């Protein structure tokens, strides 16, 4: 019996062993197929890498052009003349950023639906309504041959690269994924991208709309409590008829609240080198690819290095051998919402000075991928486009139109090209006359030892009103009568203090004769910059880089002691623990500390406790000055004058306690119980997300690196604003420092890297550098690196 049992068991094992062999074989086949797929995918991705060494023949060139990419992938382009230079710049930009360039012109033009589909229709309608492309096309007449020749040569270079791709089929993978090929580039495309940057940096209409909403929905005292200042006289309100702001702008695209920057310039009297030092770090969205493209351009007429928006020729921020410059956003009131009265018997007519005027109706058909073309029309009154009508349920009788300086023809590229060639501050200021929009705070250092500041741009002078609220459009009483004269714009040259700094703060004194803005950034970055610059008379470029990475939180220094005092009598062990952690804090937003985690989330929760239950979420998005307003509410309360928002929420102690409870509840969801173990960087992490990464599994391809813990916050000099998930998606998109003792070299950071090609060595090689503050040096001289020679056709 035992022998038989063994035989039976053996018989049962044979099929099992056989199945195991089959399973292993299948597994091996699957693994082999997977490896083959990976190799094939890798090969497919690599084949579209641009050619960056050797020689390429290009029609349109008159002389050879040398392109050397340094160890950070920055192209150094040397040409015999401007035409060849800008043609080469267009070609090289397209090599590295063609998909980004195409997506940028599509977004600004309202043409995303054509390649993305129905999900982009609302966005397209909004940008068609604004008319950035119409304004760009109208700007062509403002350009001289200098600017137009550069635009045409740049477009020619882009199109030469597109033609190559059409011939060899080696399209960047994004085009393959979305299933389309880009159209030829035009000068209007570059100008439209420029107008988009004015949109991103130059608007305040949403603040007018939000204040109008407050006055419609709340008692005057409560509405005024959220105004930038208490008005002496009640602003104009249109009878009893409500504009229904929350519905009219439900689909509006609102620029990021923290679009701003830091810049400063220090005279040689305060530097170790004895020459001026300049620093600039524009705060914009952090994404892959970077919004900035770094380049060095050289001909016998100019030698300039810096950054430009992908899709535009020249250098907008940077330096040449004689002048360095940087910008921050001035943020002036250059937009007005006009309340229009529509003719009930003719929807294309609007009342003006007791007469019905015919508006312009522009056909803007919107092509939709895998769908029908939408017949869309834009109505433009004498003031500008009717922007409330893109929402389906906007009022039919009362509508809002937008007047905005950026919708007028302008020639910013002309200014940029002249800035690139400037030899001193005087020539630079002369070039600035054509830089009308967006209005920017320029700081400048030149080789003659001058340091200067100018709040430059086209800023309207109103007949009546001050840009606080929408105004009547049926009368000429509230129109724009002129613009602030160029020679009277805010300006400082060689101040006694020995430095100039701006951080989107108020740039004028109270006795300045013209209105510029009601909304200024929270003052903390500017306060910290000035604190550091005043304390040292032997400043170096290294000091400036350290200051750009400074994490001191002066908002916390102001409020934490008061928070502790108000809650010190609360009998709760958890509150006591929080107060102890905050009481021991040095007010630096260090990534490994618990206190910045608590404080920065707490400040967000205070705003939620005060406003979220009373104001719809989409309407709150119009409140561009919300954080500064919350600061002001708290200051008044600490001074013994709590306004209605704090009083109706139960008083200051109740507001702080409730928001703290919400803060702890959020943090404790993902952290250990021990508060001492909490780290700001476990929540606060930088990510440079690709526009296609929101669709899984594209995130694994385009966002190859996860989040990196970083310090700082929205109010530190090291700007790192975060969303509700803790993702740092906004901050110093480019960091730049130069000591004019050696104007041939400067220090740069462009996160996450130069290239938009996922397989490039320079795709995200500056990711960690951005987090750590590791700068690279770029020279105005020819560096060593991979060299590409662009030859006139037929001379290879």
Residue 465: the pLDDT is 86
Q: Classify burial at 85, counting beta carbons within 10 Å of its beta carbon; exposed 0-12, middle 13-18, buried 19 or more.
A: buried
SS (H, E, C) 467-514: CCCCEECCCHHHCEEEECCHHHCCEEECCCCCEEEECCCCCCCCCCCC
For residue 793, give every residue at least 6 positions away whose Cβ sits within 8 Å of its Cβ, in sequence order, or none.
57, 58, 59, 60, 61
Question: Which pLDDT belongs to residue 4?
Answer: 45
pLDDT at 705: 81
Would you say residue 543 has pLDDT above 70? yes
On the question of pLDDT at 601 being above 60, the answer is yes
pLDDT band per the 50, 70, 90 thresholds, residue 17: low
pLDDT in tens, 720-776: 999 999 999 999 999 999 999 999 999 999 999 999 999 999 999 999 999 999 999
> Lowest-confidence range among 247-261, 466-480, 551-565?
247-261
773-793 in b/e form (b: 16+ CB < 10 A) is: bebbebebeebebeebebebe
63 neighbors 80 (Cβ within 8 angstroms)? yes
d(CA 254, CA 624): 9
Query: Among this protein's residues, is 246 annotated catalytic?
Result: no
594/597 Cα distance (integer angstroms): 5
Q: Is the pLDDT of residue 715 over 50?
A: yes
Strands 786-792 and 54-58: parallel
Q: Which residues contact 113 (CB under 8 A, 6 or more apart)?
A: 120, 121, 124, 366, 367, 368, 369, 371
Binding residues for Ca(2+): 333, 336
- The pLDDT of residue 32: 59
Mean pLDDT of the chain: 91
Q: Above 70 in pLDDT, residue 16?
A: no
Distance (Å, whole) CA 489 – CA 467: 18
Between 595-607 and 626-638, two packed helices, what is the crossing angle to 10 degrees?
90
Which value, in Å, is the radius of gyration of the alpha carbons in the chain?
A: 29
Closest by alpha carbon to 619, among 305, 210, 253? 210
Please determine, for residue 395, whether its predicted confidence score (pLDDT) is greater than 60: no
Confidence of residue 697 (pLDDT cuts 50, 70, 90): confident
Decide: 337 and 120 in contact? Cβ < 8 Å: no
pTM: 0.92
Contacts with 656 (C-beta within 8 Å, 6 or more apart), sequence order = 563, 566, 567, 606
- What pLDDT does 233 receive? 43
Other beta carbons within 10 angstroms of residue 231's beta carbon come to 15
With beta carbons less than 8 A apart as the criterion, state whether 299 and 316 touch.
no
Nearest to 514 by CA among 742, 645, 332: 332
- Indicate the range of 195-199, 419-423, 754-758 predicted with least confidence: 195-199
Of all residues in the chain, the percent with pLDDT exceeding 90 is 80
- Distance CA(621)–CA(535), nearest Å, equals 39
For 73-87, 237-251, 365-379, 538-552, which range has the lowest pLDDT when averaged over its residues? 237-251
Question: Domains of the chain (ranges plus CATH)?
Answer: 554-681 (1.10.1400.10)
Res. 245: pLDDT tops 60: no
pLDDT single digits (tens) 436-461: 999 999 999 999 999 999 999 999 99
- In sequence order, the 6+-apart residues with CB closer than 8 A to the CB of 408 are 135, 138, 436, 437, 458
- Catalytic one of 48, 261, 305, 659: 261
The answer to whether residue 302 scores a pLDDT higher than 50 is yes
CA atoms within 13 A on the CB side of 265: 27
Angle between helical axes of 145-168 and 82-109 (0-180°, round to 10): 80
Helix spans in 110-204 (H): 113-116, 121-130, 132-139, 145-168, 173-178, 187-201
Burial of 358 (0-12, 13-18, 19+ CB in 10 A): exposed
In tens, the pLDDT along 205-238 reads 888 989 999 999 999 999 999 998 644 443 333 3
For 497-532, b/e burial (b = at least 16 CB within 10 A) is ebbbbbbbbbbeeeeeebbbbbbbbbbbbbbbbbeb
Residue 345 has pLDDT above 70, yes or no: yes
pLDDT band at 372 (very low <50, low <70, confident <90, very high): very high
Poorest-pLDDT segment among 195-204, 453-462, 677-686, 696-705 = 696-705
Average pLDDT over residues 611-627: 91
Write b or e for each residue in 272-307: b if 16 or more Cβ atoms lie within 10 A of its Cβ, otherwise e.
Answer: beebbbbbbbbbbbbbbbbbbbbbbbbbeebbbbbb
pLDDT number for residue 624: 86
Q: What is the pLDDT of residues 33-61, one digit of tens each?
A: 555 545 556 666 788 899 999 999 999 99
The mean pLDDT of 617-634, rounded to a whole number, is: 92
State the Cα angle at 502 between 501 and 505, rounded to 5°: 140
Distance of CA 392 to the CA centre of its chain: 29
pLDDT at 481: 96
pLDDT in tens, 108-134: 999 999 999 999 999 999 999 999 999
Q: Quick one: pLDDT at residue 237? A: 34
Q: What is the mean pLDDT of residues 242-255?
A: 56
Among 74-83, 140-149, 678-687, 787-796, whose mean pLDDT is lowest? 787-796
pLDDT tier at 479, thresholds 50, 70, 90:
very high
**Choice between 661 and 255, residue whose per-residue pLDDT is larger:** 661
How many Cβ atoms sit within 10 Å of the Cβ of residue 682? 18
With contact defined as beta carbons under 8 Å apart, do 387 and 379 qualify? no
């Amino acid at each position: 019996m035992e022998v038989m049992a063994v035989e039976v068991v053996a018989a049962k094992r044979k099929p099992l062993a056989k199945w195991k062999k089959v399973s292993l074989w299948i597994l091996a086949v699957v693994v082999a197929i997977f490896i083959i797929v990976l190799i094939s995918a890798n090969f497919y991705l690599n084949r579209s890498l641009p050619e960056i060494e050797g020689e390429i023949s290009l029609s349109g060139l008159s002389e050879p052009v040398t392109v050397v990419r340094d160890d950070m992938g920055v192209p150094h382009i040397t040409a015999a003349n401007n035409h060849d230079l800008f043609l080469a710049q267009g070609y090289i930009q397209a090599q590295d950023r063609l998909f980004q360039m195409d997506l940028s012109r599509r977004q600004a033009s309202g043409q995303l639906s054509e390649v993305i589909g129905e999900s982009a229709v609302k966005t397209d309608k909004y940008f068609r309504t604004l008319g950035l492309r119409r304004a760009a096309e109208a700007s062509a007449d403002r350009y001289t041959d200098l600017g137009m020749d550069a635009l045409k040569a740049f477009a020619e270079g882009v199109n030469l690269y597109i033609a190559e791709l059409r011939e060899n089929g080696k399209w960047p993978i994004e085009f393959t994924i979305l299933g389309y090929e880009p159209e030829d580039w035009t000068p209007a495309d570059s100008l439209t991208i420029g107008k988009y940057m004015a949109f991103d940096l130059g608007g305040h209409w949403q603040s007018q709309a939000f204040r109008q909403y407050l006055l419609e929905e709340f008692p005057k005292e409560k509405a005024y409590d959220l105004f930038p200042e208490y008005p002496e006289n009640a602003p104009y309100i249109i009878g009893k008829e409500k504009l229904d702001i929350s519905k009219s702008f439900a689909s509006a695209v609102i620029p990021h609240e923290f679009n701003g920057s830091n810049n400063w310039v220090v005279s040689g009297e305060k530097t170790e080198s004895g020459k001026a030092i300049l620093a600039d770090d524009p705060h914009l969205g952090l994404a892959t690819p970077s919004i900035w493209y770094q380049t060095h351009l050289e001909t016998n007429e100019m030698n300039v290095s810096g950054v430009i928006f992908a899709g535009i020729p020249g250098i907008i921020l940077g330096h040449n051998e004689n002048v360095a410059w940087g910008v921050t956003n001035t943020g002036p009131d250059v937009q007005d919402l006009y309340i229009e009265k529509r003719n009930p018997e003719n929807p294309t007519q609007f009342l003006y000075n007791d007469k019905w005027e015919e508006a312009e109706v522009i056909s803007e058909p919107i092509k939709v991928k895998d769908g029908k073309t939408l017949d869309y029309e834009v109505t433009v009154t004498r003031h500008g486009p009717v922007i409330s009508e893109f929402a389906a349920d906007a009022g039919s009788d009362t509508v809002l139109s937008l007047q905005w300086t950026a919708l007028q023809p302008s020639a910013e590229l002309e200014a940029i090209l002249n800035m690139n060639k400037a030899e001193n501050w005087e020539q630079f200021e002369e070039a600035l006359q054509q830089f009308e929009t967006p209005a920017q705070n320029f700081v400048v250092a030149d080789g003659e030892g001058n340091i200067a500041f100018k709040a430059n741009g086209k800023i309207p002078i109103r007949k009546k009103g001050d840009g606080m609220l929408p105004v009547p459009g049926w009368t000429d009483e509230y129109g724009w009568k002129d613009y602030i004269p160029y020679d009277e714009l805010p300006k400082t040259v060689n101040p006694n203090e020995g430095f100039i700094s701006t951080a989107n703060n108020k740039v004028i004194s109270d006795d300045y004769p013209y209105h510029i803005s009601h909304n200024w950034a929270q003052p903390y970055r500017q306060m910290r910059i000035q604190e550091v610059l005043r304390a040292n008379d032997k400043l170096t470029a290294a000091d400036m880089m350290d200051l750009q990475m400074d994490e001191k939180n002066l908002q916390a220094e102001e409020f934490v002691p008061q928070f502790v005092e108000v809650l010190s009598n609360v009998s709760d062990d958890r509150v006591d623990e929080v107060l102890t952690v905050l009481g021991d804090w040095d007010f630096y937003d260090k990534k490994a500390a618990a206190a910045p985690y608590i404080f920065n989330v707490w400040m967000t929760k205070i705003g939620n406790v005060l406003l979220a239950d009373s104001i719809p979420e989409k309407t709150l998005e119009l409140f561009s000055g919300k954080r500064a307003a919350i600061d002001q509410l708290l200051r008044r309360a600490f001074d013994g004058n709590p306004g209605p928002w704090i009083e109706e929420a139960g008083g200051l102690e109740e507001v702080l306690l409730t928001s703290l409870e919400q803060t702890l509840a959020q943090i404790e969801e993902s952290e250990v119980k021990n508060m001492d173990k909490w780290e700001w960087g476990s929540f606060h992490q930088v990510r440079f997300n690709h526009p296609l990464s929101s669709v899984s599994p594209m995130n694994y391809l385009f966002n190859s690196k996860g989040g990196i813990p970083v310090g700082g916050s929205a109010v530190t000099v090291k700007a790192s604003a975060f969303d509700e998930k803790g993702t740092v998606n906004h901050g110093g998109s480019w960091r730049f420092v130069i000591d004019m003792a050696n104007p041939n070299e400067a220090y740069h950071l462009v996160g996450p890297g130069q290239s938009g090609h996922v397989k490039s060595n320079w795709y995200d090689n500056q990711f960690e550098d951005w987090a750590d503050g590791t700068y690279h040096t770029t020279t105005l001289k020819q560096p060593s690196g991979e060299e590409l020679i662009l030859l006139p056709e037929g001379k290879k």
